[in-house]
């Protein structure tokens, strides 16, 4: 998991980090993963995850998540940023609920008062940045 300890300066770096996290293990259920980076792009030694997600996103939950992550960034990594990956078991292609989750996360991050990275999506066989056309409804 050395890739999770390297600074992230571009989306290719972030892709390597998410790919290292995803590995060949797969997922038992849909999950959100969050990485916090300091102002120089170094990851904090904490990886947060949320499982037992509803089939469709809840804007209040995403707002509360962003508020919590704001507190973490302000306290632990002033000037830092947040990266989020939505993952689920199975294979591609993306399903409607996947797109709904990724869109809601993207919109939540756009409103947040901290820097963020593009949303990523993972399945048991692939990790990728969410394409821009999936982020508009």
pLDDT 10s digits, 69-111: 999 999 999 999 999 999 999 988 888 999 999 999 999 999 9
pTM above 0.85, yes or no: yes
* DSSP, residue by residue, 18-46: HHHHHTTT--SS-EEEEEEE-TTSPEEEE
Count of domains observed in the chain: 1
Assign 46 a pLDDT band (cuts: 50, 70, 90).
Answer: confident
- Residue-level pLDDT at 130: 95
Q: What is the mean pLDDT of residues 30-34?
A: 94
55 vs 97: CA distance, rounded Å: 7
Residue among 129, 29, 20, 125 nearest 83 (CA): 129
User: 25 CB contacts (<8 Å, ≥6 apart)?
Assistant: none
CB 83 within 8 A of CB 35: yes
Domain residues for the domain of 22 are 2-135
Domain with 18 in it: what CATH number?
3.40.140.10
């Amino acid at each position: 998991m050395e890739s999770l300890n390297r600074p992230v300066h571009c989306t290719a770096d972030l892709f390597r980090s998410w790919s290292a996290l995803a590995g060949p293990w797969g997922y038992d259920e849909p999950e959100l993963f969050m990485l916090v980076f300091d102002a120089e792009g170094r990851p904090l030694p904490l990886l947060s995850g949320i499982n037992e997600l509803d089939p469709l996103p809840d804007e209040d939950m995403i707002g509360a998540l962003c508020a919590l992550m704001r507190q973490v960034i302000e306290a632990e990594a002033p000037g830092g940023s947040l990266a989020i990956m939505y993952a689920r078991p199975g294979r591609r292609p993306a399903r409607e609920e996947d797109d709904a989750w990724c869109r809601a996360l993207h919109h939540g991050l756009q409103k947040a008062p901290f820097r963020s990275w593009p949303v990523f999506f993972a399945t048991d066989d692939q990790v990728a940045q969410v394409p821009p056309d999936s982020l508009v409804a």
